[in-house]
Amino acid sequence: MTDRAGLAQFLRLRREALQPEDVGLPRGQRRRTTGLRREEIAALCHMSTDYYTRLEQERGPQPSEQMISAIAQGLHLSLDERDHLFRLAGHRPPPRGAESRHVGPGLQRILDRLVDTPAEITTELGVTLRQTPLSVTLVGDRTRHAGPERSLGFRWFTNPASRLPHHPDDHEHLSRLYASGLREVAARRGPGSEAARLAELLLTRSAEFRSLWERHEVGVRPHDTKRFVHPEVGTLELQCQTLLDPEQSQRLLVYTAPPGSEAYERLALLAVLGPVPPAASSSTASQRGSTSA
């Protein structure tokens, strides 16, 4: 049963405790509201202001688990706060740990401040949970997938388009990296885990994966330098820094280039260009491949 009064009060207090800079928003000179406005939280939660307002006013139907999850993320709640919010809404809290999709407030705050840097938060299975706008411009929207396709490693072996943003000379190493990484996670999480299910599915879908899986290779590590290929600006060699959240088995990947380098200038150009439509990206990449051949 939903505790409407408790839910409304909890939402209001958490909204008022958040400041614009906590979520990457400008404060502005005319702000009089304590904390964030309702319309700002609604936008962060990807819902209408009217719907969110009704929750704070103890009105409307019981929010779904999906809605509560979105609100927990938009309010930058900790895991304990998220679980409390679910209970107030009359739902069982989702599981914690490696398969959780809730991004902790610490990683989220850092990501919100990386407005001019490609960065993403991923799970141990390569599921992208959050991206900065420049990351979307660089490699596309990796959060739009559903089911097993949410994992980049799964898409790598089943969808050739997933390889387009990566330099062709790195493909062999990346294939070994994803197969090795999945084997390590599957062994750590055990039979019946999401990792084990992905491996079983890939064994039926990809001959390349089957070949790599049979090697029982572990310990393959990513290169410090990542080479991305963008259809408009070409190849960018970027350094990758990683910040881990061990409680959630999530990592924040930040891609940077030394100031004054060619990659640095190309990143600045990307920020101006904005995202390339998927169709245009695939077409341009195909043309480049046929030309280089």
The kind and range of the H/E element at 234 are: strand 234-245
Stated pTM of the model = 0.78
Question: Which residues belong to CATH 3.30.450.180 in the chain?
Answer: 105-292
Among 140, 271, 169, 272, CA closest to 227: 169
- The tens digit of pLDDT for each residue in 81-114 reads 999 999 999 999 887 766 778 888 888 889 988 9
Mean pLDDT of 22-28: 75
Mean pLDDT of 131-146: 94
- The tens digit of pLDDT for each residue in 229-265 reads 999 999 999 999 999 887 778 999 999 999 999 999 9
Question: Which residues belong to CATH 1.10.260.40 in the chain?
Answer: 4-88
pLDDT above 70 for 290: no
DSSP state of 126: -
For the domain spanning 105-292, the CATH number is 3.30.450.180
pLDDT band for 276, please (50, 70, 90 cuts). Answer: low
Q: What is the predicted pLDDT for the residue at 54?
A: 94
Q: What is the predicted pLDDT for the residue at 293?
A: 31
pLDDT above 60 for 9: yes
pLDDT band for 274, please (50, 70, 90 cuts). Answer: confident
- The tens digit of pLDDT for each residue in 26-39 reads 776 677 777 899 99
For the domain spanning 4-88, the CATH number is 1.10.260.40
Cβ 225 vs Cβ 219: under 8 Å: no
How far apart, in Å, are the Cα atoms of 66 and each of 39, 63, 89, 137, 194?
19, 8, 11, 27, 20
The kind and range of the H/E element at 110 are: helix 105-113
